[in-house]
Chain A
Amino acid sequence: MTPTTTSKQGPGEKRPTAPRPTAPRRPANAAPGEAPTTPRPAPAAPTPTTTGAGATDDGSPTTVVPPRVPDDGSPTTVVRPRTPEGGGAPPAARGATAPAPSTAPPALRPGTPTPDGGTTAACTPAPAGTGTAAAGGRRAPWRRPRVLGGAASALVLGLAGALLLGGGGWPAGLTVDLSAPLDDANQWVLDNRDTHPLFLYFLLHLSNTAVDAVNAVYGVLAAMGWPGVLTAGVLLAWRAAGFDRRGARVACVAFGAFALCGLLGMWDATLLTLALMVVAVAVAALLGALIGLAAGLSDRVDRALRPVLDTMQVLPAFAYLLPFVLVFGTGTPAALFCTVIYAAPPMARLTALGLRSADPGVLEAAVSLGANGRQRLWTARLPLARRRMLLGLNQTIMMALSMVVIAALVGAGGLGEEVYSALSTVDVGKALAAGIPIVLIAVWLDRTTAAAGDRLGATAPRRGLLHGRSAWALAAGGTLAATLAGLAFGTTWPRGWTYDISTPVNRAQDWIVDHLSTGVPLVGGTQVWSDAFTVGLLNPLRDGLQWLPWWALLLLVAALARLVGTWLSALTATAALAATGVLGVWTKSLDTLSQVVAALAVTLVVGVLTGVACARLRWVERWLRPVLDTLQTMPQFVYLIPVVALFGVSRAAAITAAVVYALPAVVRITAQGVREVDPAALEAARSMGASTRQQLFQVQLPLARPALKLAVNQGVVLVLAVVVVGGLVGGGALGYDVVKGLSRGEMGTGVTAGLAIVCLGLVLDRITQPTARGPRP
């Protein structure tokens, strides 16, 4: 009997096709063990053109892959640590995916970072081609020196030009002011919101429906009272994860999460956030599933959709807020709609991927038995896609959560609002009180959906009262009973059962400021480090970038992009950078760019070192794994809280948040890449007497190059997303403009800055695309 092997035949496993790149937003990690289980589809299909590729896989439910999610085909990558079938966590465990070497390696690409579920996965590096890559194909080795030379000469030329002609910003004549027309548009919307038919007969209905839906759900949750909601959350988690030991653990997580939300005095805010989530996730999942269905069944839809989804992956969460605020104004509708738009793509992609990667053998068997199209869909394709769809749901939920939190900027209310208002007054204690529930909810949702996904393995369902439909009835009954009990004892969280952590936290923060910020013997202090970092690295970098003549910078970017990619990616990168100049935010863009580059440098140094340590030292890996899992579950907003406590409001704080946010991905990808180096090659080196150092530098790191490139690319996108959020805590530049635009209704400024951020994202993405040279199958 070889149950295991058979069970592992993922649908995708045998596909003849080629891998496709995709890019998950967050890197994934996959457990090696898991990897096999996950199907690694190698779909064929042409690669998407735009963004790079990351591949993903889905195998595991938990990963969050953001926007750039898998396309079809991708082999994947993102796997979550606990895997579905993996059962026992393999040594490598959470985190690493194990791509089979032979299969196409997946490439993962990050998209914008999202907070996704946490434990997201790692990715495997792979060369999946990106669109451009496709064009490039594998480059002949002899051409590389020439390209290198070209890049070097461009750099030299640029510097020489700068010295000769003097530096300078973007010429004023080449700018186009978008602020005025945007402000006009905004004004027009404001003026006509109550009269124009477009609003009266369409948009107004949308926004009213959104508000009604959220209010209705909130009403139900409030009516259930805290006992009802708490019981529902616990039983739901338990039922979804199965009524067994694992289910019990997940149920404990749920109980702890809800109880702490109440204890911290955030019960109402939690309910509001949950209400938003319920509505947003329901709509996003439905929309995503329908789109995915269309893309899974029709090649034409799939082709049309892919570039759209690819583009969506590059956009930071912030970029989604602006257009909705423009149309709907601040408030729940804008928050809800952008959450839906932001969260739907993973569901769409994974549904389409699931449908497309159904085992062709099974489908052929169904046809050979005379199944018609509808029967094939319902009895074979959809059931086979279930696990991927559940993974999509997990990612959709985690992305929705992060967006709902960020949407506090446009008046969404709930926990995000609490964090935002606390941060804007630098009240770390209050921010933490709201931030902890966000993390807990994220963990609860992630664990629950991940466990549910794991259960969809090939094992037989158990029967009995605690399984199947009767278990749902049991959970519903329990909830009902708790609700009734709640009606008797009171539905609001008891006042006496709260604990105010903001005072002790603020006291602790004061102590930190007093004792750790300066004057610590030998090591200095956080303020000292932050100043040193700002003065020593950040300022020179920013000034240097701003001093370079604009055309030299364009040339440099073009050369870099050509170096790693194709002419097309060079063109895209250059055009995107030029666009920031045209938008009139050249200087600010370079400021933001300098922060991204500085954060990236720190992230890579720390991340790669840690990743290598992880791969080589078992105990490091064991200790880090749970930490990384948790870090990856949190929405990016939450990262700001502790860094403000340590570094105050400054650019260094924003950068630290970005580094912390991007680190888990970089560590995981690096560790996985190093660990998965062909064991035969390593063994050969060892048999020839290579020292540890030689093994690392001559075998492991060179062979892990694709993973390292991928880590760089993921790092870039993740860092960029948080540097923008960092506008809230002193990052300044573009991020601040966006936040200001959103919170004060200055659409012109906000949208311009938002566009510039998108452009920067494109530039960075193109010059770090790791997959550009992937072999095309």
Chain B
Amino acid sequence: MNTTATTPVFGVRNLWKVFGPRADRVPGDPLLADLPQADLRARTGCTAAVRDVSFDVRKGEVFVVMGLSGSGKSTLVRCLTRLIEPTSGTLEIDGDDVLAMDGSRLRELRRRRAAMVFQHFGLLPHRSVLDNVAYGLEIQGVGRAERRARAAGFVEKVGLAGLEHRRPGQLSGGQQQRVGLARALAVDPEVLLFDEPFSALDPLIRRDMQEEVVRLHREEGRTMVFITHDLGEALRVGDRIALMRDGRIVQLGTPEEIVGAPADDYVRDFVRDVPREQVVTVRTAMRPMRADDAGNGPALPPGATVSEAITAAAHGGGTPVRVVENGRCLGVVDPQTLLGVVAGVTPPAGKAAA
């Protein structure tokens, strides 16, 4: 996904959100800005929910912001459309300065460019499913007949056909979140923002919904910003993950980078129980081909995971698996390498070599 040349969907630089009295003095004051959360509260009565955060969300990617509760991730995503007003920093959407927008331009942004899906759905209990889905269009001023017709398509798309006239109260949690998703999709936004959308659902339904999101992303390629506190969910849906702690991003990278090369002990602790073979790719795990390697092992693309390589190796009778791209052999993974990844004893080869 090499789209760095184009303008990012969201460009965030040095963003701060501080709650509390005279919050705006905190970001600019180096003495205060570096204080730990508790000290800052003691000194100023302020809480810095987002501290000096910078990142780009590239077009078409699923950007996951991950962290435990209180890490500032929900605040961060609300800052993106100024549902919460950032304290300082710069924020651009497609190159437009969001912080400079006046009320009507901001509403226009919210109406057409970014739509959000909420943890607790935020559905209107007095309206039918169809009218809930059409709500965003109604706010845009779309006529009743047209918005209902358009909404009906999205109801179907999220798999709720036949339930159009139910009220949210008559739906299960998973179904309600599908309504929330359809409502966000209905306005055809450039970017979808998900605020822990599946945390309130039970695990089976959560898995379903995650697959639904992955499917939608595959089909439409829409840019998504996804907030979650669930590492498994982050790894499953994310192209890139920003891991937050105490308002800062402690590591930003692909799932593989996060799992394979934790930036610090906190991240390492976090990813310790992740089944690494399902995240680490053979591109990372492989070692250069050596003269004594047999050249006839099974071939895999570099994006394959280690667990796929294990399967292939098992079928191949133990010969090293070749990593092949465009007909060129980039390297091999032998059973020893694979075991090392699974056991977590050797850092992935790429890193180890370096």
Within 8 A of A (CB), among B13-69: none
Q: Verify A364–B139 contact, CB threshold 8 A.
A: no
A458:B170 contact, CB within 8 angstroms: yes
| Residue of A whose beta carbon sits closest to that of B106 | A370
Is the beta-carbon distance between A361 and B121 smaller than 8 angstroms?
A: yes
Q: Which of B111, B120, B170 contacts A460 (CB 8 A)?
A: B170
Q: Chain B contacts of A365 at CB under 8 A? A: 116, 118, 121-123, 180, 183
B92-133 Cβ-contact flags toward A at 8 Å (1 or 0): 000000000001000111111001101111111111100000
A470 close to B (CB within 8 Å): no
On whether the beta carbons of B170 and A459 are closer than 8 Å, the reply is yes
Q: Is the CB of A368 within 8 A of B116?
A: yes
| A490: Cβ under 8 A from any B Cβ | no
Q: Are A361 and B139 in contact (CB under 8 A)?
A: no
Cα distance A106–B167 when bound, in Å?
30
Q: Is the CB of B168 within 8 A of A458?
A: yes
Q: Are B169 and A366 closer than 8 Å at their CB atoms?
A: no
- Alpha-carbon separation in the docked complex, A79 to B218 (Å): 50
Which one of A362, A368, A380 lies within 8 Å of B81 (CB-CB)?
A368
Residues from chain A with a CB closer than 8 A to the CB of B139 are: 366, 369-371, 375, 379
A380 to B132, CA, bound (A): 11
Name the segment of A1-9, A182-190, A259-267 touching the other chain: A1-9
B171 interfacial contact with A, CB 8 Å: yes
Asked if A681 CB lies within 8 Å of chain B CBs, one says no
| A687 / chain B contacts, CB cutoff of 8 Å | none
Please measure, in the bound complex, the distance between the C-alpha atom of A7 and the C-alpha atom of B126, giving whole angstroms. 10
Residue of A nearest to B135 (CB): A369
The answer to whether residues A458 and B138 also contact, given A361-B120, A365-B118, A365-B123 and a CB cut-off of 8 A, is no
Contact across chains for B107 and A1 when beta carbons are under 8 A apart? no
For A4, the closest partner residue in chain B by CB is B169
**In the complex, B83 has a CB within 8 A of chain A:** yes
A384 at the B interface (CB under 8 A): yes
Q: Judge whether A467 is part of the interface by a CB distance below 8 angstroms.
A: no
Closest to A359 in B: B122
Tell me the complex Cα distance, A3–B127, Å: 15
Q: Is residue A367 contacting chain B, with contact meaning CB distance below 8 A?
A: yes
Is B281 an interface position by the 8 A CB rule? no
Residues on the A chain within 8 Å of B110, using CB: 367-370
Judge if B187 is at the interface, Cβ distance under 8 Å.
yes
- Which A474-517 residues have a C-beta within 8 angstroms of B? none
Report the bound CA distance from A596 to B119 in whole Å.
Answer: 54
Which chain A residues lie closer than 8 Å to B108 at the CB level?
370
**In contact, A370 and B109 (Cβ under 8 angstroms):** yes
**Complex interface bits, B171-214 against A, C-beta within 8 A gives 1, otherwise 0:** 11101100010010001000001000000000000000000000
A383 in contact (CB, < 8 A): yes
Residue on A with the closest CB to B187? A369
Please state if B187 and A3 are interface contacts (CB–CB under 8 Å): no
Cβ of A372 under 8 Å from chain B: yes
- A residues near B171, Cβ cutoff 8 Å: 1, 3, 6
A37 to B180, CA, bound (A): 23
* Shortest Cβ gap from A739 to chain B (Å): 47
Q: Which of A383-432 contact B (CB under 8 A)?
A: 383-384, 386
CB A63 to nearest CB in B, in angstroms, measures 21
Residues of B within 8 A of A384 (CB): 124-126
Q: With an 8 A cutoff between CB atoms, is B140 at the interface? A: yes
Interface residues of A in 1-50 (CB under 8 A from B): 1-3, 6-7, 9, 14
Chain A residue nearest in CB terms to B107: A370
Contact assessment for B126 and A383 in the assembled complex, using a CB-CB cutoff below 8 Å: yes
Contact of B118 among A364, A386, A460 (CB under 8 A): A364
Assembly CA distance A104 to B103 (angstroms): 38
Q: How far is the CA of A386 from the CA of B125 in the complex (A)?
A: 11
A379 partner, pick from B121, B135, B172, B173, beta carbons under 8 A: B135
Inside 8 A of B175's CB, which chain A residues have their CB?
1
What is the CA–CA distance of A14 and B122 in the complex, to the nearest angstrom? Answer: 12
Chain A residue at minimum C-beta to C-beta distance from B180: A365
**Cβ-neighbour of B122 out of A2, A3, A361, A459 (below 8 A):** A361
**Nearest Cβ in chain A — how far from B279, in angstroms?**
32
CB nearest to B121 among chain A residues? A361
B166 within 8 A of A: yes
Neighbour of B126 across the interface among A14, A369, A375, A386, CB < 8 A: A386
Partner of B111, one of A1, A359, A370: A370
Task: State whether the Cβ of B136 lies closer than 8 Å to any Cβ in chain A.
Answer: yes
Q: Could you tell me the distance between the alpha carbons of A458 and B129 in the complex, rounded to whole angstroms?
A: 12
CA distance A375 to B103 in the complex (A): 14
Would you call B157 an interface residue if the criterion is a C-beta within 8 Å of the partner chain's C-beta atoms?
no
User: Which residues of chain B come closer than 8 Å to A1, judged between CB atoms?
Assistant: 170-172, 175
A384 CA to B125 CA, complexed, in Å: 8
With a 10 A CB-CB cut-off, give which of A370, A386, A457 has the most chain B CB atoms: A370
Contact A458 B167 (CB under 8 A): yes
Q: What's the minimum C-beta distance from B62 to chain A, rounded to whole angstroms?
A: 19
Tell me, yes or no, whether B351 is within 8 Å of chain A by CB: no
Q: How far is the CB of A388 from chain B (nearest CB, A)?
A: 13
Q: B135, A6: Cβ atoms under 8 Å? A: no
User: Do the beta carbons of B135 and A362 come within 8 Å of each other?
Assistant: no
B165 in the interface, Cβ–Cβ < 8 Å?
Answer: yes
B203 to chain A, nearest CB (A): 15
Contact A6 B122 (CB under 8 A): no
Nearest A residue to B193 via CB reads: A368
A337-374 with Cβ < 8 A to chain B:
359, 361-362, 364-372
- The contact of B172 among A3, A362, A371, A457, by CB within 8 Å, is A3
Q: Which residues of A contact B136 (CB under 8 A)?
A: 369-370
Task: Determine the distance from Cα of A9 to Cα of B116 in the docked complex, in whole angstroms.
Answer: 21
CB–CB A7/B170 < 8 A: yes
Taken together as a complex, chains A and B put the C-alpha atoms of A121 and B122 apart, in Å, by 30
Name which residue of chain A comes closest to B127, CB basis: A383
Max chain B C-beta neighbours (<10 A), residue from A368, A383, A457: A368
A369 contacts across to B, CB distance below 8 A: 110-111, 115-116, 135-136, 139, 183, 187
Distance A460 CA – B127 CA, assembled complex (angstroms): 8
Residues of chain A within 8 A (CB-CB) of B125 are 7, 362, 384, 458
Contact A367 to B83, CB < 8 A, known contacts A7-B169, A7-B170: yes
Question: A432–B138 Cα gap in the complex (Å)?
Answer: 56
Please state if A372 and B107 are interface contacts (CB–CB under 8 Å).
yes
From A9, A371, A372, residue with most partner B Cβ within 10 Å: A371
A362 touches B138 (CB 8 A): no
Give every chain B residue within 8 A of A362 (Cβ-Cβ). Answer: 122-125
- What is the CA–CA distance of A371 and B141 in the complex, to the nearest angstrom? 10
Residues of chain B lying within 8 A (CB to CB) of residue A9: 120
Question: What's the least CB distance linking B196 to chain A, in Å?
Answer: 12
Q: Is the CB of B168 within 8 A of A460?
A: no
Contacts of A14 in B (CB 8 A): 120
Q: Cβ of B126: which chain A residues have Cβ within 8 Å of it?
A: 383-384, 386, 456, 458
Distance to closest chain A CB from B25 (angstroms): 26
| Closest Cβ–Cβ distance, residue B55 to chain A (whole Å) | 21
Chain B proximity of A670: nearest CB distance (Å): 33
For the complex, give the distance between the alpha carbons of A347 and B127 in Å. 24
A460 pairs with B166, CB closer than 8 A: yes
Q: A3-B172, A361-B118 are in contact. Are A368 and B167 (CB under 8 A)?
A: no
Closest approach, in angstroms, between the C-beta of B166 and any C-beta of chain A? 6
> In whole angstroms, how far apart are the Cα atoms of A371 and B115 in the complex?
12
* Interface 1/0 per residue, A73-92 and B, CB below 8 Å: 00000000000000000000
A458 to B167, CA, bound (A): 6
Shortest distance from the beta carbon of A482 to any chain B beta carbon, whole Å = 33
Would you call A364 and B109 a contact (CB within 8 A)?
no
A74 to chain B, nearest CB (A): 21
Smallest CB-CB separation from B138: which chain A residue?
A: A379
A362 to B169, CA, bound (A): 14
A375–B138 CA distance with the chains assembled, in angstroms: 9
| CB-based closest 3 A-B pairs | A365-B122, A458-B169, A7-B169
Q: List 12 A-B contacts (CB under 8 A).
A: A3-B171, A6-B169, A6-B172, A365-B122, A368-B115, A368-B116, A368-B118, A370-B110, A372-B107, A386-B126, A460-B166, A460-B167
Query: 4 other contacts beyond A380-B124, A458-B125, A458-B167, with CB at 8 A cut-off?
Result: A2-B173, A365-B122, A369-B187, A370-B112
